[in-house]
Amino acid sequence: MANRIKMAKVSAIIELHRQGWSNRAIAAELDVHRDTVARCLKSANSIPAKAPPGRRRLEVIASPIVIAS
């Protein structure tokens, strides 16, 4: 089984980062590697709160397109 960090530590990492702690200080405080801190913060920021703006829906065409053959 792969090593996984518990959600309590992930939450603590995010909270300490919001309080202005450096990645190294967070890593030392929670006894995790600083790369783990960076990875947690990167994945936390990559999840958007809402869907990103994308292509708009195509407008409904009032009359169908007829191809003459």
**pTM score, two decimals?**
0.63
Q: What is the pLDDT of residues 14-66, one digit of tens each?
A: 999 999 999 999 999 999 999 999 999 998 887 555 555 666 555 555 666 66
The pLDDT of residue 47: 57
CA distance 58 to 33: 48
> Which residues, other chains included, contact 47 with Cβ-Cβ below 8 Å and sequence gap of 6+?
none
CA distance 39 to 46: 11
Domain boundaries, the chain: 7-46
Instruction: Please indicate whether residue 67 or residue 49 has the higher confidence score (pLDDT).
Output: 67
- Other beta carbons less than 10 A from residue 21's beta carbon: 16
DSSP character at residue 62: S
For 41, the token pair is 């913060």
Residue with structure tokens 């958007």?
48
The pLDDT of residue 37: 94
